[in-house]
Amino acid sequence: MTGVRVPIRRLSHAIADALPAYATAHSAGLDLQAAVAAPVVLAPGARALIPTGYAIALPDGFEAQVRPRSGLALDHGLSVLNGPGTIDADYRGEIGVILINLGPAAFSVTRGMRIAQLVVAPVARVGWELAETLADSGRGAGGFGSTGAGREAHSQTKEIHVK
C-alpha cells in the first residue's frame, strides 16, 4: 500500500521517541499519546483538552480525523467529545484531543497514555449544483432510523419548512 508522506513537528513537551504509530500492520488509525506534564483527572461528566505534543502539515486534499479508542470507551466511558474531530490540511497548531468522561468514576489521563486515534483520509471538494428536484432513490427522504427493521413510521416522506 502506498502511504501519504506527512511532515510532523515534535513540540518540546512531546513524548520522546514516540511518534503517533499504528498498533498493528492493518490498523486504520495511528495512536495518539497524552503529552501532559501531570495527570489530568476527569470527573464523571468532565472534559479537557489533552495535548499530544505534535503538529502536522497535511497535504492538500487530506484531513486527519481524531477518533475515540474503543477500549477506553468500553472500559471507562471515555470518548472524544467532538468525535471525530477534524484536522484540516491548513492547520499547523498542536493536535489536541478533547476527552470527555461519560463513565461513572473519575479517570486519570497520564503522560504517554494512548488516548485517541488519528485517521488520515482523502477529502472530496464539493461544487454545488442548484436543482429544483433531486433524482429518486429507494430511500427517498427517509432518515433518522428509517432503514431499520420495524421503523415504517419513520420512513414516510415528510416536508420540513424552515422560515
Residue 50: the pLDDT is 98
Domains of the chain (ranges; CATH) run: 8-122 (2.70.40.10)
Instruction: Write the CA distances from 150 to 57, 74, 141, integer angstroms.
Output: 47, 28, 17
Where does the pLDDT of residue 158 fall: very low under 50, low under 70, confident under 90, or very high at 90 and above? low
Model confidence at 95: pLDDT above 60: yes
pLDDT in tens, 118-149: 999 999 999 999 999 999 998 888 887 777 76
Residues 110/39, Cβ–Cβ less than 8 Å: yes
Tell whether the model's pLDDT for residue 1 goes beyond 60. Answer: no
Backbone angles phi, psi at 112, to 5 degrees: 90, -10
**pLDDT cut 90: percent of the chain above it:** 80
Decide: residue 139, CB within 10 A, 0-12 exposed, 13-18 middle, 19+ buried. exposed
When pLDDT is cut at 50, 70 and 90, the band that residue 155 belongs to is very low
Q: Rounded to the nearest 5 degrees, what angle is found at the Cα of 79, between the Cα atoms of 117 and 51?
A: 60
DSSP-assigned letters across all residues of 44-105: TT-EEEEEEEEEE-PPTTEEEEEE--HHHHHHH-EEETTSSEEE-TT--SEEEEEEEE-SSS
pLDDT band at 52 (very low <50, low <70, confident <90, very high): very high
